[in-house]
Amino acid sequence: EVQLVESGGGLVQPGGSLKLSCAASGFTFSDSTIHWVRQASGKGLEWVGRIRREAKNYATAYAASVKGRFTISRDDSKSTAYLQMNSLTTEDTAVYYCTGGAATGIDYWGQGTLVTVSS
Amino acid sequence: DIVMTQTPLSSPVTLGQPASISCRSSQSLVHSDGNTYLNWLQQRPGQPPRLLIYKISNRFSGVPDRFSGSGAGTDFTLKISRVEAEDVGVYYCLQATQFPLTFGGGTKVEI
């Protein structure tokens, strides 16, 4: 069974940092691009960024709204991807999903983890 | 950025009847590699998104064949041949041809 499990969400003050994890199983993680997507409460989906596989030099790309503040990384030995989030603002409050898969990069989705930025 | 526009915003449907959702992109989604990276996702209430269709018309593993995708260039359509109760939710188109990836605003399908 394919699983993507996000963790690390929680309440953080504006200007703070948080690191999310995405643990994968049931598919060949190392062959997969991993994306992060977020969804504010009652709103639509927003792409955050992605990291490619080793053969593509672990290339990353980010949305303009997070570039320079967020960093995506991965540890293929642990089948885990990460989203390091710095300089958080209230606008970053959302459920954060990781998604991956060798076919399209968005084959499988986790259940999400809630990040709340508030004082 | 490529803007993805979905219509309608909301679609009341009747069980057993067909439903159709349109998605229009602000520029062509044909990639330089010749593929068109237009995907459709379903998000049931309280659930994460789920991939239904990739590259315009390819059903992902486990997706019922009542779902179909079509289109080309800038105009795309998701069709449900006979709506079932489990199809209630919000449907999103997603372009992955160009960075940043962008989603349509979503279409709510309700009975």
pLDDT tens digits along A19-76:
999 999 999 999 999 999 999 999 999 999 999 999 999 999 999 999 999 999 999 9
Residue B99 is predicted with a pLDDT of 92
pLDDT range class, residue A103, cuts 50, 70, 90: confident
Q: Does B94 touch chain A (CB under 8 A)?
A: yes
- Number of A–B residue contacts, CB under 8 Å: 55
Handedness of CA A20, A107, B77, B29 (dihedral sign): positive
Q: Does B30 touch chain A (CB under 8 A)?
A: no
pLDDT range class, residue B8, cuts 50, 70, 90: very high
| pLDDT > 70 in chain B, percent | 100
Mean pLDDT to the nearest integer, B99-109: 96
Q: Which residue of A has its CA nearest to B38?
A: A104
Question: What's the maximum distance between 2 C-alpha atoms anywhere in chain B?
Answer: 41
Q: Is A7 helix (H, G, I), strand (E, B) or coil?
A: strand
The yes-or-no verdict on residue A87 having pLDDT over 90 is yes
Residue B85 is predicted with a pLDDT of 94
User: What are the tokens at B104?
Assistant: 């349509």
Of A63, A105, A109, the CB nearest to B49: A109
Q: A91 φ, ψ to 5°?
A: -65, -15
- DSSP bridge partners of A60: A51
Which chain A residues are Cβ-neighbours of B104 within 8 angstroms?
Answer: 44
The yes-or-no verdict on residue B111 having pLDDT over 90 is no
Residue A42 is predicted with a pLDDT of 94
Q: Does B39 touch chain A (CB under 8 A)?
A: yes
Of B51, B99, B105, the CB nearest to A106: B51
User: What are the tokens at A113?
Assistant: 């983890």
Contacts of A114 (CB under 8 A, 6+ apart): A9, A10, A94, A95, A96
pLDDT range class, residue A104, cuts 50, 70, 90: confident
Which chain B residues are Cβ-neighbours of A101 within 8 angstroms?
Answer: 51
The yes-or-no verdict on residue A102 having pLDDT over 90 is no
Tens-digit pLDDT profile for residues B35-85 = 999 999 999 999 999 999 999 999 999 999 999 999 999 999 999 999 999
Query: A37 and B60: CB-CB below 8 Å?
Result: no
